[in-house]
Amino acid sequence: MSTVLDDIIVGVREDLADRMRDLPLAAVRYAAAERPAALDAFTALGGADDPRSELKVIAEVKRRSPSKGQLADIADPAQLAREYADGGASVISVLTERRRFNGSLADFDAVRSAVGIPLLRKDFMVDEYQFHEARAHGADLVLLIVAALDDFQLKDFLDLTHDLGMNALVETHTEDEVDRGLAAGARILGVNVRNLKTLDVDRAVFGRLADRIPAGPIVVAESGVRDADDVAEYAGLGANAVLVGEALVTHGSPRERIADFQRRGAAAIAERHHAH
């Protein structure tokens, strides 16, 4: 029986085939090579030498989701991105998957032209073409979903990402996926509390999985953020960063909300360090 993730990937591959017909891999590789070097998203999210006493926010430009449907019209993604950057977001994530999230590379381009901070191309990466394409559009960070890749693909795609000068947010949902991500060499490890097979959210998953992650990788809490209390809870359990979409795009003042998230997150991190 196919899962939600399986169904999404079928559509992603169909759309990808259309783009590959329009622009062959050689042309995309050339365009990627012509871009200025990628920004350092690893350092922006806390890096290796940072005491990681702050909570970083990855703010997402997200129009709709498979679980909630339409979230926000976002007439001007560039303007929203500027608000995110002004509010103190460390990275901006832009959905580029079309069928379930109503995202596009056009949205990504609009955001890239508007802000000078690292950008995450948020999509379902299943083919080498997409990595060169991401870089050609100015991505600094790409998403690798462990559940969608075997160990060989995961390592191969992570190496390709680094060869292109980008970083990868390696997304996990289970203990096994955390172990696989670490074994592949993930430097930025996401724990997504949304089950990609059913789309249910279970916030308790974060603490359980974060406990398995040694010092070193940046730990990103994904999904399930409704308010600053959720952010503080994730930060208290070991998150260095949170990825937030819905709670920002549906809020009247995303700029103030990001600042609030950072404030509460930093307090929870300080409390955690104090307790240890």
Question: What per-residue confidence (pLDDT) applies to 51?
Answer: 85
pLDDT at 6 over 80: yes
pLDDT band at 275 (very low <50, low <70, confident <90, very high): confident
**Two structure tokens written together for 10:** 């079928």
pLDDT at 52 over 90: no
Question: What per-residue confidence (pLDDT) applies to 155?
Answer: 98
DSSP assignment string, 120-153 = EEES---SHHHHHHHHHTT-SEEEEEGGGS-HHH
Enzyme catalytic residues: 60, 62, 122, 171, 192, 222-223
The pTM (predicted TM-score) of the whole model is: 0.96
Residues 6+ positions from 176 with CB-CB distance below 8 Å = none
| pLDDT tens sequence across 122-155 | 999 999 999 999 999 999 999 999 999 999 999 9
Name the more confident of 272 and 34.
34
| pLDDT tens sequence across 86-116 | 999 999 999 999 998 999 999 999 999 999 9
| pLDDT tens sequence across 185-199 | 999 999 999 988 788
Question: What per-residue confidence (pLDDT) applies to 247?
Answer: 81
Give the separation between CA 193 and CA 206, rounded to whole angstroms: 6
Question: What per-residue confidence (pLDDT) applies to 46?
Answer: 94
Question: What per-residue confidence (pLDDT) applies to 127?
Answer: 97
Q: What is the DSSP letter of 16?
A: H
Measuring CA to CA, how many Å separate 176 from each of 125, 139, 213, 273? 20, 28, 12, 27
| pLDDT tens sequence across 60-82 | 998 887 777 787 777 889 999 99
Question: What per-residue confidence (pLDDT) applies to 225?
Answer: 92
Give the separation between CA 249 and CA 94, rounded to whole angstroms: 12
Give the separation between CA 141 and CA 111, rounded to whole angstroms: 14
The conformational region for residue 189 under phi > 0 = left, psi -120 to 50 = alpha, else beta, is beta
91-101 burial, b at 16+ Cβ within 10 Å, e below that, comes to bbbbbbbeebb
Question: What per-residue confidence (pLDDT) applies to 4?
Answer: 86
Question: What per-residue confidence (pLDDT) applies to 229?
Answer: 96
Q: What share of the chain is helix, strand, coil (3-state, %, to 5)?
A: 45, 15, 35
The mean pLDDT value of the chain amounts to 93
